[in-house]
Protein backbone atom coordinates (compact mmCIF):
# COMPACT_ATOMS: atom_id res chain seq x y z
CA UNK A 1 0.00 0.00 0.00
CA UNK A 2 2.81 2.43 0.86
CA UNK A 3 4.51 1.68 -2.44
CA UNK A 4 2.16 3.57 -4.66
CA UNK A 5 2.54 6.73 -2.58
CA UNK A 6 6.31 6.35 -2.22
CA UNK A 7 6.69 6.11 -6.00
CA UNK A 8 4.79 9.36 -6.60
CA UNK A 9 7.83 11.59 -6.15
CA UNK A 10 9.88 9.52 -8.62
CA UNK A 11 6.99 9.62 -11.07
CA UNK A 12 6.49 13.39 -10.96
CA UNK A 13 10.20 14.20 -11.23
CA UNK A 14 10.82 11.89 -14.19
CA UNK A 15 11.57 13.21 -17.69
CA UNK A 16 8.52 11.36 -18.98
CA UNK A 17 6.26 13.22 -16.57
CA UNK A 18 7.73 16.60 -17.51
CA UNK A 19 6.31 16.13 -21.01
CA UNK A 20 2.86 16.63 -19.48
CA UNK A 21 3.93 19.83 -17.69
CA UNK A 22 6.64 21.38 -19.90
CA UNK A 23 6.26 24.83 -18.26
CA UNK A 24 6.60 23.33 -14.74
CA UNK A 25 3.38 24.94 -13.52
CA UNK A 26 2.60 22.01 -11.24
CA UNK A 27 -0.81 21.41 -12.80
CA UNK A 28 -1.94 18.63 -15.15
CA UNK A 29 -5.16 16.85 -16.05
CA UNK A 30 -6.25 13.57 -14.50
CA UNK A 31 -6.05 12.00 -17.97
CA UNK A 32 -2.40 13.09 -18.36
CA UNK A 33 -1.65 11.82 -14.87
CA UNK A 34 -3.16 8.46 -15.79
CA UNK A 35 -1.16 8.29 -19.04
CA UNK A 36 2.04 9.10 -17.18
CA UNK A 37 1.45 6.37 -14.59
CA UNK A 38 0.62 3.85 -17.30
CA UNK A 39 3.70 4.68 -19.35
CA UNK A 40 6.00 4.38 -16.30
CA UNK A 41 4.79 0.79 -15.81
CA UNK A 42 5.39 1.02 -12.06
CA UNK A 43 1.74 0.91 -11.08
CA UNK A 44 -0.89 -1.79 -11.47
CA UNK A 45 -4.22 -0.81 -13.01
CA UNK A 46 -5.93 -0.98 -9.61
CA UNK A 47 -3.25 1.29 -8.08
CA UNK A 48 -3.72 3.80 -10.91
CA UNK A 49 -7.47 3.78 -10.36
CA UNK A 50 -7.03 4.23 -6.61
CA UNK A 51 -4.60 7.14 -7.03
CA UNK A 52 -6.93 8.80 -9.54
CA UNK A 53 -9.78 8.48 -7.04
CA UNK A 54 -7.65 10.38 -4.50
CA UNK A 55 -7.14 13.31 -6.89
CA UNK A 56 -9.25 16.41 -6.24
CA UNK A 57 -9.56 17.95 -9.70
CA UNK A 58 -11.24 21.23 -10.65
CA UNK A 59 -14.12 21.62 -13.12
CA UNK A 60 -11.66 21.25 -16.03
CA UNK A 61 -10.34 17.97 -14.60
CA UNK A 62 -7.04 19.69 -13.71
CA UNK A 63 -5.20 19.38 -10.39
CA UNK A 64 -2.00 20.50 -8.70
CA UNK A 65 0.15 17.37 -8.71
CA UNK A 66 2.84 18.94 -6.50
CA UNK A 67 0.30 19.44 -3.69
CA UNK A 68 -1.06 15.95 -4.35
CA UNK A 69 2.40 14.39 -4.02
CA UNK A 70 3.15 16.40 -0.89
CA UNK A 71 -0.15 15.39 0.68
CA UNK A 72 0.42 11.66 0.17
CA UNK A 73 4.15 11.07 -0.27
CA UNK A 74 5.43 12.60 2.98
CA UNK A 75 3.00 10.79 5.33
CA UNK A 76 3.64 7.52 3.46
CA UNK A 77 7.37 8.13 3.80
CA UNK A 78 7.10 8.75 7.55
CA UNK A 79 4.88 5.73 8.17
CA UNK A 80 6.83 3.52 5.76
CA UNK A 81 10.12 4.38 7.44
CA UNK A 82 8.73 3.40 10.85
CA UNK A 83 7.39 0.14 9.40
CA UNK A 84 10.82 -0.55 7.85
CA UNK A 85 12.52 0.08 11.21
CA UNK A 86 10.05 -2.19 13.01
CA UNK A 87 10.38 -5.04 10.51
CA UNK A 88 14.17 -4.72 10.36
CA UNK A 89 14.39 -4.79 14.14
CA UNK A 90 12.04 -7.76 14.41
CA UNK A 91 13.88 -9.69 11.70
CA UNK A 92 17.14 -9.26 13.60
CA UNK A 93 15.59 -10.51 16.85
CA UNK A 94 13.43 -13.28 15.35
CA UNK A 95 15.24 -14.34 12.16
CA UNK A 96 13.48 -17.70 11.74
CA UNK A 97 9.90 -16.75 12.61
CA UNK A 98 7.60 -17.92 9.80
CA UNK A 99 4.87 -15.40 10.69
CA UNK A 100 7.37 -12.57 10.40
CA UNK A 101 8.61 -13.95 7.08
CA UNK A 102 5.12 -13.45 5.69
CA UNK A 103 5.20 -9.76 6.65
CA UNK A 104 8.73 -9.37 5.31
CA UNK A 105 7.67 -10.81 1.96
CA UNK A 106 4.70 -8.46 1.75
CA UNK A 107 6.83 -5.46 2.71
CA UNK A 108 9.82 -6.30 0.51
CA UNK A 109 9.46 -3.25 -1.72
CA UNK A 110 9.06 -0.89 1.27
CA UNK A 111 12.14 -2.40 2.91
CA UNK A 112 14.07 -2.03 -0.35
CA UNK A 113 12.96 1.59 -0.70
CA UNK A 114 14.17 2.54 2.79
CA UNK A 115 17.27 0.34 2.99
CA UNK A 116 19.67 3.07 1.77
CA UNK A 117 18.19 5.55 4.27
CA UNK A 118 18.19 3.27 7.31
CA UNK A 119 21.08 3.95 9.66
CA UNK A 120 21.88 1.93 12.74
CA UNK A 121 24.25 2.34 15.64
CA UNK A 122 24.84 0.00 18.53
CA UNK A 123 25.26 1.46 22.01
CA UNK A 124 25.79 0.03 25.47
CA UNK A 125 22.46 0.34 27.25
CA UNK A 126 21.70 0.86 30.92
CA UNK A 127 21.53 -2.90 31.54
CA UNK A 128 25.06 -3.23 30.10
CA UNK A 129 23.63 -4.84 26.98
CA UNK A 130 24.18 -3.68 23.45
CA UNK A 131 21.12 -1.94 22.03
CA UNK A 132 20.47 -0.98 18.43
CA UNK A 133 19.24 2.49 17.59
CA UNK A 134 17.84 3.17 14.12
CA UNK A 135 17.71 6.55 12.41
CA UNK A 136 17.03 8.03 9.00
CA UNK A 137 19.96 8.99 6.80
CA UNK A 138 18.98 12.01 4.73
CA UNK A 139 19.68 12.24 1.02
CA UNK A 140 22.08 15.14 1.59
CA UNK A 141 24.04 13.10 4.14
CA UNK A 142 24.25 10.19 1.72
CA UNK A 143 25.49 12.54 -1.01
CA UNK A 144 28.13 14.02 1.27
CA UNK A 145 29.19 10.56 2.45
CA UNK A 146 30.00 9.70 -1.17
CA UNK A 147 32.22 12.75 -1.71
CA UNK A 148 35.82 11.90 -2.66
CA UNK A 149 37.39 13.51 0.43
CA UNK A 150 35.11 11.54 2.77
CA UNK A 151 35.76 8.31 0.86
CA UNK A 152 39.49 8.94 1.18
CA UNK A 153 39.13 9.53 4.93
CA UNK A 154 37.24 6.25 5.29
CA UNK A 155 39.87 4.40 3.26
CA UNK A 156 42.71 5.94 5.29
CA UNK A 157 40.95 5.16 8.56
CA UNK A 158 40.48 1.49 7.69
CA UNK A 159 44.08 1.25 6.51
CA UNK A 160 45.34 2.81 9.77
CA UNK A 161 43.19 0.61 12.00
CA UNK A 162 44.32 -2.56 10.24
CA UNK A 163 47.99 -1.61 10.27
CA UNK A 164 48.46 0.25 13.56
CA UNK A 165 48.98 -0.68 17.22
CA UNK A 166 46.82 -1.35 20.24
CA UNK A 167 43.29 -0.56 21.33
CA UNK A 168 43.95 2.98 22.60
CA UNK A 169 45.55 3.96 19.29
CA UNK A 170 42.56 2.52 17.44
CA UNK A 171 40.21 4.60 19.59
CA UNK A 172 42.27 7.72 18.82
CA UNK A 173 42.14 6.89 15.11
CA UNK A 174 38.38 6.43 15.31
CA UNK A 175 37.84 9.77 17.08
CA UNK A 176 40.08 11.53 14.56
CA UNK A 177 38.20 9.89 11.69
CA UNK A 178 34.86 11.05 13.10
CA UNK A 179 36.13 14.61 13.58
CA UNK A 180 37.57 14.69 10.05
CA UNK A 181 34.36 13.32 8.55
CA UNK A 182 32.22 15.90 10.35
CA UNK A 183 34.53 18.67 9.15
CA UNK A 184 34.52 17.37 5.57
CA UNK A 185 30.73 17.08 5.51
CA UNK A 186 30.49 20.75 6.48
CA UNK A 187 32.64 21.87 3.52
Q: Is the pTM of this model over 0.75?
A: no
- Specify whether the CB–CB gap between 105 and 62 falls below 8 A: no
Provide CATH code, domain 2-74. 1.10.238.10
- Answer yes or no: is pLDDT of 8 > 80: yes
Please, which residues have CB within 8 angstroms of residue 142's CB and are 6 or more apart in sequence?
Answer: 116, 117
Return the sign of the alpha-carbon dihedral for residues 73, 79, 83, 85.
positive
Kindly list the domain boundaries of the chain, sorted by start residue.
Answer: 2-74, 80-137, 142-186
Kindly calculate the radius of gyration of the chain based on its CA atoms and give it in whole angstroms.
22
The pLDDT value recorded for residue 65 is 92
Distance (Å, whole) CA 14 – CA 8: 10
- 7-20 mean pLDDT: 89
Return the sign of the alpha-carbon dihedral for residues 40, 41, 47, 52.
positive
% of the chain residues with pLDDT over 70: 87
Kindly list the distances between the CA atom of residue 16 and the CA atoms of 2, 11, 46, 71, 100, in Å, as whole numbers in the listed order.
Answer: 22, 8, 21, 22, 38
- Answer yes or no: is pLDDT of 94 > 60: yes
The pLDDT value recorded for residue 46 is 93
Three-state DSSP class for residue 124: strand
Amino acid sequence: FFDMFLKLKDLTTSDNFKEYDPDCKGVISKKEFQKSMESQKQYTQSEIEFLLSCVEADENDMFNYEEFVERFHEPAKDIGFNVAVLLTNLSEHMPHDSRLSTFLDLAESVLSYFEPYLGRIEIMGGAKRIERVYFEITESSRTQWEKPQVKESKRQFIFNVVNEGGESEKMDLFVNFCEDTIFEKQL
